[in-house]
A and B are shown apart, each in its own frame.
Chain A
Amino acid sequence: MGASAVIFYILSFLVLVAGLLAVTSRKIFRSAIWLLFSLAGVAGLYFWLQMEFIAAVQIVVYVGGIVVLIIFSIFLTQQSGRDLPAPVRSRAIFSVVAVCLGFVLTCVVLRQYAFGQTGHSVAGAGVDKIGTQLLSTSEHGYVLPFEVISVLLLAALIGCVVIAIKLKPEDK
Chain B
Amino acid sequence: MSQVPLSHILMVSAALFFIGMYGLFTRRNMITMLMSVELILNSVNINFVAFNRYLYPDKLEGVFFTLFVIAIAAAEAAVAIAIIINLYRNFHSIDVEDADEMKF
Contacts and interface: CB of A to CB of B under 8 A. Distances in A.
A15 B12 contact: yes
Contact of B22 (A1, A96, A123): A96
Interface residues of B, number: 69
Interface string A67-84: 001100110111000001
Interface residues of A, number: 86
B42 A62 contact: yes
Contacts of B14: 103, 106-107, 110
A102 B82 CA distance: 33
B96 interface: no
Contacts of B38: 35, 39, 62, 66
Contacts of A70: 31, 34-35, 77, 81
Interface string B36-75: 1011001001100110111111111001101110111111
B11 interface: yes
B39 to A, nearest CB: 5
B49 A54 contact: yes
B99 interface: no
A103 B18 CA distance: 7
B82 A164 contact: yes
Contact of A84 (B9, B32, B56): B32
Residue of B14, B26, B58 with most chain A CB atoms under a 10 A cut-off? B26
Nearest to B89: A166
A91 B71 CA distance: 33
B50 to A, nearest CB: 7
B79 A160 contact: yes
B23 to A, nearest CB: 3
Contacts of A5: 3-4
Given A5-B3, A8-B4, A39-B42, A73 B81 contact: yes
A38 B3 CA distance: 23
Given A42-B45, A48-B1, A166-B89, 12 more contacts: A20-B19, A22-B35, A23-B35, A28-B31, A61-B71, A69-B77, A95-B25, A106-B14, A115-B54, A121-B58, A149-B72, A152-B72
27 contacts: A4-B4, A15-B16, A16-B19, A19-B20, A35-B39, A45-B46, A51-B63, A54-B67, A61-B71, A61-B74, A70-B31, A77-B84, A77-B88, A84-B27, A87-B26, A99-B18, A110-B14, A116-B55, A117-B54, A117-B55, A120-B57, A122-B57, A125-B63, A134-B64, A145-B64, A149-B68, A159-B79
